[in-house]
Structure 1
Amino acid sequence: MTIANNPETATEYDYDARAVVARRLLKGSAQRSYDPIIELDFDAPLPSDKFFLPPRVVSIYGTDLWESLTTQQQIEVSRQELANILSVGIWFENLLNRALLVRLMRQDPAASTTHYALTEMGDECRHMTMFGKVIEHVGARAYPMRRWERGAMHLLPFTMRGTLLWVITLVGEELFDALQRQIKDDPELQPIVARLMQIHVTEESRHIGFARDGIVRRMPIRSRAETVLAANLHGLAAPIFRLLFTNPEMYQRAGLPNPREVAAIARANPHFHASQITSFAPLAAFFRKTGLMGSFAERRWRRAGFLP
């Protein structure tokens, strides 16, 4: 089978081209992979005047409540929001690894695509370690999943097949990746957080490339039912992410009174909406390009504040 130069105009699934992509990513992984235990300086003290997230991406930034806080209180809010985001990241990396393991039960163990999937799982295991150690190092605690969230995490890997596997992968990875690319070099950021983001962006770029390629290469063979499901089910994630990113427990741990009211302020905050829109924009454009932004999903993402 010849390798398609443009998978978007292919008429069948090009296994050879997919293998070429996997081999290229395997080579990139061998050349640029990081051990967080070595790469991050966990012995360095935390500068007292640095934020754990740049102020402009903190959920209550720009509100009257934010302006009423002292700088140290603002820094504490950023610490708790970072710990919350990293906790969500750990859950998702766990979900992705479990989905890939289920998929590998049906795959050729000698194929390059299998070898890259195994490599990606290794990356994700290191990311979970990195996130957990940074949460501990910055003096925060991880945010646990609720019972219904744990139940969903147990069931989801068995539904993540075909295009839907790669769609869910991108929803979990690109929202964080787009935001990290904007803020990883911010001078107000704690050095250890900046380094975490640099590592994560580098390694996630390969994962995102693999998932995007998987979606595009399935376009010639996916059924209408597969397309409709994949194009709309990802919209169910929109209100969940909105709730996760404005978790009232963050504000309670930061010492703010009436945490549920603070969460409501965050959800109505135009600065927070702008950050959401920016983080979702590259993925929204890709979904539209590949026919995977269904009307139901688009309404859900817009209602949750991720689309203008």
Structure 2
Amino acid sequence: MASSTVRPGDQDRLAEQDVARRLLDSSAKLSYDPATEVDWETPLDTGHHGASPEWSTLYGTAYWKEMTEDQRKALTRQEAASVASTGIWFEMILQQLVLRDMYAKDPTDPRFQWALTEVADECRHSIMFARGAAKLGAPAYRPQRMVVELGRAFKTLAFGESAYAAILVAEEVLDVMQRDWMRDERVAPFVRTINNIHVVEESRHMKFARDETRTRLRGAGRLRRQINSLVIAITAYYIVTSMVHPDVYANAGLDGDRARAEAARNEHHKSRMRASCSGLMEFLASCRLLTRPALFFYKRAHLI
């Protein structure tokens, strides 16, 4: 008589499929179409910020105290547009990582179907961010050429836990700041809507990325964890340090050299970044991905 016992590997696979089914159900019940949900028609009201002022790279500095309220609002609008542009850059990397991971896999598997749902979400988010940045009156902010080329290599070579944990890093950092922005009535209403859409839909992406990271690390040895922890940390460093483009200050009418110097020394902003990443660092530590070499890069990026 054949045994009905479910093997451990089968149990794991069934659990992963169950997570994917629940994410698909959630997506079917609560998703947004930015083309209709966001108010694209009303002209930009320059009386609003683009982000919560406390998240500005200059908040709390001597320069911030000298700035007029209009200058502060102009700066946060440029900074929000820069963060959105960086988000587009990494979401394009993310889409390619997910598609490559799912290439030629079982399309009847709920994980495969969720992966395509996530890619569809990211396509909409990228268009939403692009339209939002344009409405904020910002140019096309892009990471430095070296970072763009490193991203090109990463999207081609990364796989497994290094891909999904890096996805998680980008999403977690954005999630915390956008939760503040979407509740802040000082922020332009259309930006708050964009942030709300992104927070709701990215919560599902983060759940999937966490589960996939744990799954891919199952049975991983020390050397593999050491290598991937470093890859993830370096990726996190370049994502975070590319969020606010150096040109935002001049484009907001400020002295670019002075603003960049004061932003680089701004302990308030560094503290907010560290606080925003506390949950992420706990997760990476639980996966044994906070190695000494990795910590070097997280500290340089002020994430820990």
**Fold match by TM threshold 0.5:** yes
Q: Which AA in structure 1 matches 2:218?
A: P
CA contact (8 A) 2:246 2:260 kept: yes
Q: Which is worse superposed, 105-114 or 168-177?
A: 105-114
Deviations 1:31-68 (A, max 9, x none): 11111000001112333322111110000011110111
Distance change (3 Å), C-alpha of 1:117 and 1:161: same
The corresponding residue for 1:98 is: 96
Consecutive aligned runs of 4 or more in structure 1 exceeding 4 Å deviation: 1-4, 10-13
Q: Which is worse superposed, 35-44 or 233-242?
A: 233-242
Residue from 288, 291, 294 that aligns with 2:291: 294
Q: Which is worse superposed, 120-129 or 219-228?
A: 219-228
Which secondary structure does the structure 2 equivalent of 1:26 belong to?
helix
- 1:127-142 maps to which residues of 2 (within 5 A)? 127-142=125-140
Deviations 1:234-265 (A, max 9, x none): 221354245323422111111112x2432221
The corresponding residue for 1:263 is: 260
The number of residues matched between the two structures is 301
The corresponding residue for 2:161 is: 163
Deviations 1:209-231 (A, max 9, x none): 00101122334322333211222
Q: Which AA in structure 1 matches 2:227?
A: L
The corresponding residue for 1:7 is: none
Q: Which AA in structure 2 matches 1:302?
A: K
Q: Which AA in structure 2 matches 1:160?
A: A
Distance change (3 Å), C-alpha of 1:31 and 1:108: same
Q: Which AA in structure 2 matches 1:90?
A: I
- 1:118-197 maps to which residues of 2 (within 5 A)? 118-197=116-195
User: Is 1:274 the equivalent of 2:271?
Assistant: yes
Q: Which AA in structure 1 matches 2:280?
A: L
Q: Which is worse superposed, 142-151 or 227-236?
A: 142-151
* Distance in 2 between residues matched to 1:13 and 1:229, nearest whole Å: 29
CA contact (8 A) 1:80 1:253 kept: yes
Distance change (3 Å), C-alpha of 1:61 and 1:13: farther
CA contact (8 A) 1:239 1:304 kept: yes
The corresponding residue for 1:87 is: 85
Q: Which is worse superposed, 225-234 or 81-90?
A: 225-234
CA contact (8 A) 2:147 2:238 kept: no
- The Cα of 1:2 is off from its aligned counterpart by 7.9
Q: Which AA in structure 2 matches 1:133?
A: R
The corresponding residue for 2:241 is: 243
The alignment-based identity, stated in percent, is 33
- The Cα of 1:191 is off from its aligned counterpart by 0.6
CA contact (8 A) 2:51 2:77 kept: yes
The corresponding residue for 2:21 is: 23
CA contact (8 A) 1:13 1:218 kept: no
Structure 1, unaligned stretches of length 5 or more?
A: 5-9
Q: Which AA in structure 1 matches 2:295?
A: E
CA contact (8 A) 2:141 2:245 kept: no
CA contact (8 A) 1:18 1:113 kept: yes
Distance change (3 Å), C-alpha of 1:237 and 1:103: closer
The corresponding residue for 2:113 is: 115
